[in-house]
Every structure is written in C-alpha cells, then in structure tokens.
Amino acid sequence: MPFVARNDRPLGAFGIRRPFLLLAALGLMMFAQSIETLKASPAATRTREFRLANGLQLVVVPDHRAPVVTHFVWYRVGSADEPPGVSGIAHFLEHLMFKATEKIASGDFSKIVSRLGGQDNAFTSHDYTAYFQRISKDRLKTVMAMEADRMVNLKLAEKEVATEREVIIEERRSRTENNPSSILSEQMSAALYQNHPYRIPIIGWMHEMRKLSREDALAFYKRFYAPNNAIVIVTGDVDPDEVKALAEATYGTLKANREIKPRVRPQEPEHRAPRRVELKDPRAGNAALRRFYLAPSYVKADKGDAEALYVLMKIAGSGSTSRLYQSLVAEQKLASSAGGWYSGGGLDSGSIGLYAVAAQGVGLDKVEAAIDRVLHELREKAVTDDELARAKKAYIAEFIYESDSQSALARRYGEGLVLGQTIDEINRWPEAIAKVTAEDVKRVANKYLDIRRSVTGMLIPVPPDGEADAARKPPTGNRS
C-alpha cells in the first residue's frame, strides 16, 4: 500500500511509540484488505463494456444476489449545453420525455413500469441527463425497448408542453423562489462563474422558463438525443452477452446522429478579485455565511489534486469531527453548524464550498474571520496522521458500501463514463485516494483556497418589509 502512517509528536522516554506502531500497522492492514476486497469484487472483475455499431456505449455489471436489474440511460447533455436564452430546456425536456411516442400514450411510460412491478425516475445536471428503471430481470427487454422508442420517437402536443411548463415553473417557485438559502446559492454560482454556463441554474431562470416552447424542446431533443450520445448501464442479475443481445435488438436498430459533436463550452478567464453577495430576506432564519472557490473537476485536475481536495475537505468540513465544526461550533460557540465539501463531479470544473450558520447574536464578520483562521492553518500546517487516515478510510468504506448497491454502481459508472473516465479509472479510485499524503493536502490547500477565485455570500434575516423600507428611503449625504 502507498499509504504510510506518520506521527510527528515527540518520542516517549524510550524513543519508541509501541501503541502507535501497533495502530499504524493495523491501519495499513485495513487499507490493504480494503483495496484487495475491491479488486476481487464483482464490480471490478466482471464489468463488461460494449460499443454498438450506431455508437451507443453499453456497460453491464452482473450481480446475481436478487432477480432484479437496474437500467440507466445517460445522455451526454445537460443544462450547460443549452443555447443562450432557453435556460432550463434540458430539465424541461427531461419532464417531456414522459409524454407520448407513437407506441406509448402520454403519461403511460411510468404507469407501464409500475404495472410491471418496477420503479422509474430521471434527473438532470449541468453535464448529463439520466433516466432509470429498477425492474424484474424478465422485464428488462420491455424497458429497454421503451427507452429506445422515446430516444428518437418523442411526440409533443402543444397543450402538453404548456401544462408541463407550468409544472417546472411551480417547481422553481417552491424549491428556489420560496427558499432564501437556494436563492443565495444560485446568486453565488452566478457570481463565481464569470463566463462558463455553470453560472446558470439547472432549472433555468424564471423569465426564460416562461417562454420555453414546443419548438425549443424538439430542437434540443433532435440535437442531443441519439444512440451515439448515450450510455446504457445495466446492473443486476444479468449475463453481459444476453444484455448485449437485448441492446442490439432495441437500441441497435436506431440510427446514429452524425451531427453530434464533442462538447466545447466557453471557459473561465483568470479570476483576479474575490466577489461578495449579500442577500437580505425576512424568511431567513439565523444569519449564515457561505464561500465557494473555483476548483478543477476530478476529470480535469492535475494528477493527484482532486483526490487531495476530497481528503482536504473531508478533514476541513465533513461532520462533527471536522476542523470547521470543532473550531466554530464546539470550541468558540460562534456557529450552530459549520462544514464544507469539494464538488468534483463536473465536466469542466468543480468547486469548494464552505458554510456556517451564526449562533444567536454573533455577527457574520466574526464567523468569517473564524473560517479564515481554519483555512490559514490548513495552508500553513500539515494535517495530522489521524485526520488523514480517518478521511481516507471513510472514502474507501463509502466506495465499498456503494459496491453493494445496484443503483449506486449504475450511477458510479454512468457519471464517470459520461464525464470521460474509463472503467479502469473508476475502479481504481480507492487506490488513488489511498496515495494522498499530508503534504498533498497542504499543497492543494495553498493552490486552490485562493480568495481571488472565490465568492462569499451572506444570508441576513431582516424584519418583514425591512429591506423594502430601506430601499425606499432616500440616501443621505451629497451625491458626487
């Protein structure tokens, strides 16, 4: 194993730390056993990958413990691929995909899956759109045929488009417009990305959503939905060759779209100054502070940087043992909660996030100063051996637990492949995490916790109508 336990505390009276050496040896054994377990797992050893003649990518992960399967279709298109002026069209189309084809009546797709004893759903991100079903193994051919049908044969009636448009508008109203925390996050993302379409919310801007049309949806559909822009993942009680035959009989009959091109998006310029966003809202609870840093995504980061960022933010912000929680909540009593994360699952870039909810009567200036002290210490001093080992073990354990779930495996391979990773790279992620050192963590803290590449947001509760009254009050002093 590449992981070596370290301890920089002074030696004891005899120059030997026997308890520590024993714990270090046990830690090494646990890491080694975990990695070997992963190498021997069905996900790592039995995964099969195929490519159909029309360009569709197929991945099969057998798991024979129960006679069920999980079937995913991933499209290499998300909200960041939308044309200007039609924000939200990727998510809108996700909803409309459950309308009619020539073979299936509008709204019947999910009803059929349910009658077959299965479950289905879909989701949209900045970089991909995915549709899935969990079904009995003997029903797999049926859902594959249904997905293949709506991949190219979607029919949209004007009335259905208008009705579903009201559904997504209400979704934005309930999830964003009525949630000050969501509004702040949306405004911060818009400020963090100066040029990249990640600055636009996945659900879209309200004023553009209201204008989304049937023509917009069909144009987006015909441009991006095709077998050569899709990945099908099947996990469960299946034989890879049998699944390939089913795929050939369903998806394999579809024609490739020769207009599909590699995705090229506007990229970020150099970030030269920090940005700040302040939102006052009477619906807010306690005052809260957040900060986002621009960071590389897992697939675009320099070698070893993304893994080190995951470990850094596990130590800095994950749970009640994290640096931020211990410092701001447990010790200084400045916040009621605090934490952070590294989000590396993007195609073009990722981000680092920090947050703290101020304790009653504590100003956000004190909270921000306390966060900055924690970050300064992470940049100046190496994390401890215990912190490093605990963070790495947590990630490896999560990976092992996920390997026990059909749905988690399907998402793991789907998300990785749609962003450009290989099967081998996905399987070797725990080994890459195990190689992270304390020096790596310190290095990426200095490299990416750069205030010039950040936006800091403040959510400030105000009395009802207080902000409106302040806005109506004329400014004092002379104008220059």
Known catalytic residues are: 94
Q: Backbone dihedral region of 262: left (phi > 0), alpha (psi from -120 to 50 degrees) or beta?
A: beta
d(CA 410, CA 132): 9
Angle between helices 89-96 and 214-224 (to 10 degrees): 90
Distances (CA, A) of 209 to 126, 161, 166: 16, 12, 9
Return the sign of the alpha-carbon dihedral for residues 41, 45, 46, 49. positive
CA angle 37, 40, 41 (to 5 degrees): 85
Provide the 8-state DSSP code for 42.
Answer: H
Per the CB < 8 A criterion, the answer to whether 252 and 53 are in contact is yes
| Cβ-proximal residues to 81 (8 Å cutoff; 6+ apart), any chain | 90, 197, 224, 263, 265
Side chain identity, residue 14: F
d(CA 368, CA 296): 24
Per the CB < 8 A criterion, the answer to whether 5 and 21 are in contact is no
Distances (CA, A) of 93 to 124, 332, 386: 10, 48, 48
Question: Which residues are registered as beta bridge partners of 355?
Answer: 290, 339
Return the sign of the alpha-carbon dihedral for residues 161, 166, 171, 176. positive
SS3 237: coil
The side-by-side arrangement of strands in the sheet containing 48-51 is 48-51, 57-62, 230-236, 68-75, 129-136, 119-124
Distances (CA, A) of 304 to 203, 435, 440: 33, 8, 8
* Helices vs. strands in the chain: H and E counts, helices first: 19, 11
d(CA 113, CA 93): 20
If you count them, how many residues does the chain have? 480
CB atoms within 10 A of CB 380: 10
d(CA 368, CA 282): 22
Six token digits for residue 284: 């807010």
